[in-house]
Amino acid sequence: MKNHLRVLVIDDEEELVSALVERMMLRSIDAYGAITAREALRKLQEEDIDVVVLDVKMPGMDGLELLKKIKVKHPLVQVILLTGRGSEKECEVGLAEGAFDYLIKPIDIEELIGRMKLAANS
């Protein structure tokens, strides 16, 4: 069982990314943030990440397209999708593409961390 999580949060809402990263770091989780798909792919090359928390709706390359790239280049990295209400169908597609799980915004940080731990230890 992994005790020390390394997480990458990817969302185009910079304030959400900053808040999640800060709250995770307060819980001794190594957390990184990215607000674009390009930045996320670069961080995945640079850091040893266990779990990606990925927004489904992003400008440019959307979350589902990025999920496919992550699974090809980093097949051991688990991905938890984030979406707004009404977009659950996209998350079902994401699960079929290899995502570990999904959560609907607004998210509860403790629920997210619990699912991240499950993903990292799966």
In degrees, rounded to 5, the angle at the alpha carbon of residue 93 between the alpha carbons of residues 92 and 99 is: 80
Q: Where are the domains of the chain?
A: 6-107
Q: Please name every residue paired with 108 in a beta bridge, in sequence order, or none if there are none.
A: none
Task: Examine the pLDDT at 110 and tell me if it is beyond 60.
Answer: yes
88, 64 Cβ separation under 8 angstroms: no
Render pLDDT for 65-96 as a digit per residue (tens, 0 to 9): 999 999 999 999 999 999 887 677 888 899 99
Report the CATH number of the 6-107 domain: 3.40.50.2300
pLDDT in tens, 19-67: 999 999 999 999 999 999 999 999 999 999 999 999 999 888 889 999 9
Global pTM reads: 0.94
pLDDT given at position 70: 97
